[in-house]
Chain A
């Protein structure tokens, strides 16, 4: 397989995952913020920080208006990570991947792009946002399912999965990082902190699964453990890393990326939850993110640039 083709598959995987995660995040936070008092320590700026867009946002907008934040994250052309741009990139990728992805895959991504172009930029945005965001999440899930259900397991599928799981792990660390900064990590938490931790779970689609597997009160340490380490939950960082390691093992010359994954797993093993919750959550998550960047670099230098 051509390196450039593998590269486009990887980035299509990343961009579809990012679109879905960002749409869900917006949905959950928009919902949450209606319930929180203004001094809750969490606000619209939290969203911008999770999506890594502070600087660009600061330059582009006056702070504080819900509508502006939503629009910036969802539909701003100047924000490289906005949903509309992620979908547009995924669509440009899939245009050149028609030979390796199922025809319905091309059509679905194309339709998603048309939907985003038509509806995300609309001015009456707050009013209709729930429907659109929900539809985007659903479409992305449908596309993921289509690829899983129709693509032969081979090079193309593995590169798509590398992109998806790397992006997913990255997104989970971001969500945790920002929540950890804004919220108390003590076991005894206030009602609205509890609400926010539940939202953290929901923005990873994890609330229901958490409830089934944890079966006790929501506490910061348990949420952290679930989203970082639970090997049965497909959005936990550890689960994503195992998937990346598996795909790397299937691919030719995958030693370096697999080693980079092992390094991060070793770091996670060496970081106890107690340590995470009590001393330096931000520092630990930041180290995880740096390691994820190294995994990406290993993937890139092994298969895309030579």
Chain B
């Protein structure tokens, strides 16, 4: 594989820089790849696919009325990040989550942020995920969002932006860890010669974070992972994390709230009290008593047990109020307001359709912009202007006029590329990056994160539910 034929002229490439020379931090990898024949490259890609099948690394797709377990798509060429650059990004990610947590806590208490006119009242009153039942709750350490998957992208000029903060039930971290396991088998020589930061501390950091929330304290907290069940698309990850933490994997039916207001799991030994719940279900499927009366899912009384402080739930109910693309647009202001610091990470410039002048700008420039609903994730319900048909653009024009609060717009960001095995050749493909940030008594960030890659040429859609792939991510320090 010779880099002279690699066309990185479209945008910033993470591995190959000007004049088609490898970036210094990626040089050992690029040089190694350049010594591989096409056949060797193919056989390494095949070996990684076999390893993924054998290790049972799957994700579930709902298609044609059936749930299908698909092998996890992994491209063998890693994405490489400079350790010094990463240190800044890591500090910025912690800063961001701290501000978001102060914001959520404020929203459910005095709402100083509204009183001081940092954000408008309607931001909260019209939020779909503001849960009035949570007002006055006091989760441990004042932290509501304990696990955050923050999506980062890099523009053509090399600037890194935060694209969104996923606070509800962000997934992907198990694939980050499994990707590393596979790639270590594919390129053992490189791991021996480069200083690549390890990623597998995450499950124990998650455990420690959850333990720091335990209402009973003590060294031996009972921690469970709450899953909607086997048909959830991220079930693999739920089982993976439970196993790596040594926690029980439970569904709502395994839990019961007794008369003492505490949460117990039904075990063959009898009822066992639960201290902390890492929940991977939505707010409203947690407790039919508090939310959806019709729901068959969930544990009656769970919300009350949490509100009274008898059990910790991560992420806390109601924290979705900050996982909203309009709130997103205020995060730099929130950092200045709560922390009295300058934001270390930039936001993508964002037009709020709720502001009249911005809305007019958005309506006038729809073919150039990306328009997103305030409250969806997974790439659903959005429109990429330059790629959209006239009909789609007209449909969004109507939608925005009807419910301006529900939409934001951003300029189309080019998204950086990474060399990717495409059939017989290596070509640039667009990527994003999802690091995972934890906050309990302390904060921590994964080394790198999950790099998602759009496998179709020119495509910017990286979601695995929509045909995206993934890459191992290396944070490399000088050796």
The CA of A122 and the CA of B267, in the complex, are separated in Å by: 42
Q: Interface readout for B254-283 with A: 1 if CB under 8 Å, 0 if not? A: 100000000001111111000000000000
Residue A4 interfacial (CB < 8 Å): yes
The CA of A211 and the CA of B242, in the complex, are separated in Å by: 51
Residue B239 interfacial (CB < 8 Å): yes
Residues in A with CB closer than 8 Å to B243 are 98-99
Q: Is A2's CB under 8 angstroms from B230's CB?
A: no
Q: Is B268's CB under 8 angstroms from A1's CB?
A: yes
Also in contact, A4 and B56, with CB within 8 A (given A98-B239, A253-B270): no
A interface residue count range (under 10 / 10 to 19 / 20 to 34 / 35 or more): 20 to 34
Residue B248 interfacial (CB < 8 Å): yes
Which of the residues B56, B239, B250 comes within 8 Å of A2, measured between beta carbons? Answer: B250
Q: Interface readout for B228-258 with A: 1 if CB under 8 Å, 0 if not? A: 0010000000010011000011110110000
Q: Is A95's CB under 8 angstroms from B230's CB?
A: yes
Q: Residue on B with the closest CB to A254?
A: B268
Chain B facing A: main interface SS: mixed
Q: Residue on B with the closest CB to A97?
A: B239
Residue A57 interfacial (CB < 8 Å): no
Which of the residues B230, B250, B265, B268 comes within 8 Å of A92, measured between beta carbons? Answer: B230
Q: Interface readout for A1-33 with B: 1 if CB under 8 Å, 0 if not? A: 111101000000000000000000000000000
Q: Is A252's CB under 8 angstroms from B268's CB?
A: yes
Q: Is B266's CB under 8 angstroms from A306's CB?
A: yes
The CA of A159 and the CA of B266, in the complex, are separated in Å by: 16
The CA of A99 and the CA of B238, in the complex, are separated in Å by: 11
Residues in A with CB closer than 8 Å to B265 are 2
Q: Residue on A with the closest CB to B69?
A: A95
Residue A153 interfacial (CB < 8 Å): no
Q: How far is the CB of B50 from chain A (nearest CB, A)?
A: 14
Q: Is A3's CB under 8 angstroms from B242's CB?
A: no
Q: Is B239's CB under 8 angstroms from A103's CB?
A: no
Q: Is B253's CB under 8 angstroms from A4's CB?
A: yes
The CA of A106 and the CA of B251, in the complex, are separated in Å by: 21
Residue A251 interfacial (CB < 8 Å): yes
Residues in B with CB closer than 8 Å to A99 are 239, 242-243, 249
Also in contact, A6 and B268, with CB within 8 A (given A99-B249, A106-B56): yes
Contact residues of A between 90 and 146, Cβ < 8 Å to B: 92, 95-96, 98-99, 103, 106-107
Q: How far is the CB of A295 from chain B (nearest CB, A)?
A: 17
Q: Is B56's CB under 8 angstroms from A96's CB?
A: no
Residues in A with CB closer than 8 Å to B239 are 96, 98-99
Q: Residue on B with the closest CB to A4?
A: B254
A-B contact sample (17 more), CB < 8 A, given A4-B254, A92-B230, A99-B239: A2-B266, A2-B268, A3-B254, A3-B268, A4-B250, A4-B251, A4-B253, A96-B230, A99-B243, A103-B56, A107-B56, A159-B268, A253-B268, A253-B269, A253-B270, A303-B268, A306-B266
Seen from chain A, the residues whose Cβ lies within 8 Å of a Cβ on chain B are: 1-4, 6, 92, 95-96, 98-99, 103, 106-107, 155, 159, 251-253, 303, 306
Please name the 5 residue pairs, one residue from A and one from B, whose CB atoms are nearest each other, closest first: A3-B266, A303-B268, A99-B243, A252-B269, A6-B268
Seen from chain B, the residues whose Cβ lies within 8 Å of a Cβ on chain A are: 56, 230, 239, 242-243, 248-251, 253-254, 265-271
